[in-house]
Structures are given as C-alpha cells and as structure tokens.
C-alpha cells in the first residue's frame, strides 16, 4: 500500500516551463552570445542550477547562475502558476491520509516562495530542496531523506516528476515512478524515461493509487 507521494515541483506541480526556457535563452544569449540548443536544454533540464550552468560554461558558471536567478525572480510572480488540477489533487491526497512530500532541485528560497504564493505549504509533510542535500537528482539522496523523515519504506512511496532525472532518482531509490504527461519532453521520449506509470492529468494519480 502506498503511504506517501513525493513530488517534484517545477514542471510537475508548478507550471514554470515557459519561464525556465525563456530564462535559459536570455542568459545564454546575454553572457555567452549564442542560443542554447534543444538538445542542450533536454540534457540539463531537471538538474540543479549549478550543474546546468557548469554545463554551459565552467569558467562563467557563477556569473550565469547569478544572471539566471535575477531574470527568473524578476518574472516568476507573473509567469508561474499551478497546473490545473494540482490543488484538487493535494486536497484529495490529504483526505485519503496519504503523506505528501517534495524533493526538488530548486533552492529553499524558491520553495518557500512557491508554497506562499500558491498557498500549498500546509499540504506537505516533508520538503527537501537543493540546499538540503549534497547531491541533487538524479542522485536519490533527497528521496532517501524524505523516506527517513516520514518513517516509511521505499515500497510504500511513489515519486511523481517531469524529467529524466526525476525518474532516474526514483528508480535508484527503489520507489515507484510516475511521469507526468504535461512534461516539456515530447511523447516520443517517454520510453527513454522508463517510468513505471504515466499520467495525463493530476487527478489520474488518484485512480492509480486506488489500484495499488
């Protein structure tokens, strides 16, 4: 029986997709004088910001990180929102007595902002951000930390995410993995992820849980 659902945040619960891509294009163009390719964006998507920017330039990575944060924070209030159905899903999971957690490569400041903006913080029993671990996803460290906090075993948890790194972290941690069908990645890439399940909309997760 599943006792806990662990979510990624950006691209899974919160629609940050357009802003993230726009921020990458803005920063890489401004500082490196070129546009990132689709292949490069697919490669870094879902990793920590430090890792993403080191990929584009080891020498200027900190400058890229600072520019990314500045641009993103200037636009996040107007250009981010919860995906339709997410609030209903969190309410239903709470009513079912299922614990809710997040493991995100987002920093703690960003997590607090999202929780406050969308008024969802009270639904979460455990939160692990990039600042709480030595290794972000696809390393399973964050998932293991959540399992420990909640006092449950891997077979009692399910991880929901939108990137290859989310699914890889779930598999390494030994928890069931769910890929969201509203991911930035095209459907032709789904088989590469190797997720245990795919859902088309948030409330489909409830149907899935009832079958477990």
Question: How far is the C-alpha of 23 from the C-alpha of 3, rounded, in Å?
Answer: 37
- Exactly one of 8, 15, 162, 166 is catalytic; name it: 8
**Nearest 5°: CA angle at 109, between 42 and 25?**
30
Is 8 among the catalytic positions?
yes
The one-character DSSP state at 36 is P
Residue closest to 6 by CA, chosen among 93, 131, 117, 114: 93
C-beta separation of 169 from 138 below 8 A = yes
Asked if residues 41 and 21 have their Cβ atoms less than 8 Å apart, the reply is: yes
Q: How far apart are CA 164 and CA 25, in angstroms?
A: 21
Taking Cα atoms as reference points, which of 145, 139, 141, 182 lies closest to residue 160?
182
Which of the residues are catalytic? 8
């Amino acid at each position: 029986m599943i006792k806990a659902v662990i979510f990624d945040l950006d691209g899974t619960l919160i629609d940050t997709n357009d802003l993230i891509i726009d921020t990458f294009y803005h920063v890489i163009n401004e500082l490196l004088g070129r546009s990132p390719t689709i292949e490069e964006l697919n490669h870094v998507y879902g990793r920590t910001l430090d890792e993403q920017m080191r990929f584009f330039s080891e020498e200027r990575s900190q400058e890229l990180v600072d520019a990314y944060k500045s641009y993103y924070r200037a636009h996040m209030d107007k250009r981010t929102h919860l995906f339709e159905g997410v609030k209903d899903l969190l309410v239903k999971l709470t009513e079912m007595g299922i614990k809710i957690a997040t493991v995100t490569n987002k920093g703690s400041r960003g997590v607090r902002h999202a929780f406050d903006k969308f008024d969802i913080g009270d639904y979460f029993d455990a939160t692990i951000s990039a600042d709480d671990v030595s290794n972000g996803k696809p390393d399973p460290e964050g998932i293991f930390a959540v399992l420990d906090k909640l006092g449950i075993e891997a077979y009692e948890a399910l991880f929901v995410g939108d990137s290859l790194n989310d699914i890889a972290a779930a598999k390494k941690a030994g928890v069931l993995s769910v890929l969201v069908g509203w991911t930035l990645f095209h459907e032709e890439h789904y088989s590469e992820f190797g997720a245990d399940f795919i859902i088309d909309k948030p409330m489909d997760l409830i149907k899935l849980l009832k079958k477990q």
